[in-house]
Structure formats: C-alpha cells, structure tokens
C-alpha cells in the first residue's frame, strides 16, 4: 500500500524539465563568473549545430560529415563582410551568412542525396574537405592563419544601437533566444506532416516512395534547413571568438558534433543540445584534472554509447519516471468485455 503514493510522486510532468532548464539558463549569468557565461554561450552555439545535424541524422537517417562546412562558411562570410575598423551590420551580415550556408547545402544536398548509405557519407565528407581546402589555400580568406573580426557586428536602427554583441551578457541572451527559437522551429518541423514524411522515408524508403512521397525533395528540404541552422550557429561562433579559421570547416568538427548527437540521443530534438553540454562539460573537467584527458574522454564516450543507447537524456525518465504511466512489461492490458451476441429470442 505504501509503494503506490511513492510511484505517483516519482512521475514528474513532461513539461517540468524544459521549464526548469530555461529558468536555470536565464538565471545563470547572474550567479556565475563571466567565464562560465561565455562557456554556456559556446555550449548553446554548438548545441544548435548539433540539433541542426540531428534533423538529417536522427529524423532523416542520413549521416552527414559536411555540416561543419556550413558552420565555418557562415563565419567566413561574416569575416569577409566586416569592415576593418567598424562594426558590421547584423541585419546585413546575418542573412547573407545564412543564405550562403543554405545555398551550399542546396548544392551539396542535390548531389549527395543521389547516393545512399556509406556513399552518402563519403560524398558529404568529400564536399566538406573541398570547402576546407578552399579557405585553407585562399589568400583572400587569410589562408591557414584564418581571419579576424576586429569589431563585432551590432544592430543599429536609425542611429540607435539596439544590440551590442561585444558584451558577454547581451551576447549570451541573444544566443539563448536563438537556441529557443531553433528548438521551437525543429519541434514544429518534426511534428508536422513534413516531419512524418521524413521519418517515413528514414524507416522504409521503398514503402514511402510507393505511397507517393517525393523522397528526394523532402530530404533536400531537410538538408537545406539543417544547413541554414548550422549557418546561424557558425555566425554566432564567429561573433563570440572574433576569429575564423579553416579548422571550423574540417571533418573533425563534423565528427565532434556527430558525437554530441549520439551521446545526447537521436530520438529527440533537444537531445543533441544535452549532448553538447555533456561533451563540453566533460572536456572542461578532464582538462583540469588529467594530462591524458583525450584518452579518458574517449573511454567515457564509448561507455555512454554502450550503456545509454538513447543518449544521456534518457537518465531523466530512468531517475524520475515517465510523464505517462506505462503498463508493466510482460503484462497485457485487460480487454473490455465484449457484449454477448443477440440470439433473436425474446
């Protein structure tokens, strides 16, 4: 008799975790030093990139290794459009950077999506490396040394400065707002008929094609949308660090973000964001405690993938229970009694 109330208390509402996380994110800059505010901004930026990649990997079933190219390309657009000693316009450079990333995703996706499986992985990897060496060897982009953004962009309307991204607190809340908007957009897309069609193509492409779904078009739209969100993340990363380098476009950056997706969980929109927090937080702790921290990080990531196949996000239902009660395993729900058929006698 005493176990029943405990069971009810352990199940927390599904909306409680997002509300608590948002409240903690809003309060964070007022209770921690500036270093941790900047670290949180970095986590959110890479979390947006990981969620963008998950739209293709988790929802579309396509493993892409070129999303860092969209990430870095957007940052280079900002660097090339920024005046040397003046602040660039946010209203001008942000749309230009996102459009450049979207166009690159459109071209690469239109070619890569004609392949399947490991061939798709290799084609996206090849395109990512092509863009990496383009900026690595180009003098106009600073070559292997990269390029600096001396003055961060600002939002100015009628001579009034509305946003000064040079302030860590202002930049953090801008990144937080972008993250919330990205989550809302991705949740809407995933729950829409388009998202269901994308998942149907992932689960059984032949059946989805037989039902009349335009598979190529659906995947291309998802790939372009994913590239655009990666461009937004790359723009914010360039603003935060004031520097862009070819390494932002390299395959190792794509692989790192893919690890964030895997340890965060493929089945949810916000799982990769939690994966970014887990991976970057783990790196911060290991760097401060171990000399061979890369080895320890690899072993821990392997353990997470093996022990938590749905990502670290599944720890919440494991600890606090699901939002809705589920029937016990091995037991079937008792069907409703079927009324006896009429015999026709009075």
- The per-residue pLDDT for range 217-263, each reduced to its tens digit, is 999 999 999 999 999 999 999 999 988 999 999 888 999 999 999 99
What are phi and psi for residue 4, nearest 5 degrees? -65, -50
> CA-CA distance, 45 to 343, in Å (whole number)?
70
Residue 312 resides in a domain: no
Three-class SS state of 141: helix
Phi-psi map region of 283: left, alpha, beta (phi>0 left; psi -120 to 50 alpha): alpha
Over pLDDT 70: what percentage of the chain?
A: 86
Give the number of domains in the chain.
1
Residue 328 resides in a domain: no
Residue 71 resides in a domain: yes
Q: pLDDT tens digit string along 93-114? A: 999 999 999 999 999 999 999 9
pTM value is 0.85
Going by pLDDT thresholds of 50, 70 and 90, the confidence category of residue 68 is very high
Residue 22 resides in a domain: no
Residue 51 resides in a domain: yes
Residue 255 resides in a domain: no
Burial category of 286 from C-beta neighbours within 10 Å (exposed 0-12, middle 13-18, buried 19 and up): middle
Residue 266 resides in a domain: no
Q: pLDDT tens digit string along 288-314? A: 888 888 899 889 988 888 888 777 776
Domain extent for 81: 34-250
Q: In the chain, which ranges are E strands?
A: 147-148, 154-157, 160-164, 243-244
Residue 180 resides in a domain: yes
């Amino acid at each position: 008799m005493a176990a029943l109330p405990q069971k009810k208390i352990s199940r927390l509402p599904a909306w409680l975790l997002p509300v608590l996380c948002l409240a903690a994110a809003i309060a964070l800059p007022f209770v921690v030093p500036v270093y941790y505010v900047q670290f949180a901004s970095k986590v959110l930026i890479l979390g947006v990139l990981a969620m963008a990649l998950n739209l293709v990997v988790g929802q579309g079933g396509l493993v892409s290794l070129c999303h860092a190219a969209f990430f870095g390309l957007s940052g280079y657009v900002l660097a090339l459009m920024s005046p040397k000693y003046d602040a660039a316009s946010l209203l001008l450079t942000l749309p230009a950077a996102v459009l450049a990333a979207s166009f690159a995703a459109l071209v690469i996706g239109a070619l890569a999506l004609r392949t399947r499986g490991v061939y798709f992985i290799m084609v996206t990897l090849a395109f990512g490396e092509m863009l990496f060496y383009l900026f690595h060897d180009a003098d106009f982009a600073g070559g292997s040394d990269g390029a600096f953004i001396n003055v961060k962009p600002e939002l100015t309307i009628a001579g009034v400065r509305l946003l000064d991204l040079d302030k860590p607190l202002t930049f953090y809340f801008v990144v937080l707002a972008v993250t919330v908007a990205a989550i809302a957009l991705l949740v809407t897309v995933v729950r829409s008929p388009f998202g269901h069609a994308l998942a149907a193509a992932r689960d059984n492409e032949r059946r989805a094609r037989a039902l009349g779904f335009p598979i190529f078009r659906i995947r291309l739209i998802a790939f372009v949308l994913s590239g655009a969100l990666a461009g937004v993340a790359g723009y914010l990363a360039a603003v935060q660090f004031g520097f862009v380098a070819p390494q932002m476009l390299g395959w190792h950056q794509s692989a790192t973000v893919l690890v964030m997706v895997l340890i965060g969980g493929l089945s949810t929109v916000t799982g990769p964001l939690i994966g970014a927090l887990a991976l970057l937080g783990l790196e911060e702790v290991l760097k401060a405690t171990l000399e061979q921290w890369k080895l320890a990080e690899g072993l821990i990531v392997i353990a997470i993938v093996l022990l938590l196949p749905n990502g670290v996000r599944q720890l919440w239902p494991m600890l606090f229970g699901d939002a809705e009660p589920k029937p016990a395993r091995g037991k079937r729900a008792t069907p409703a009694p079927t009324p006896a058929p009429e015999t026709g006698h009075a």
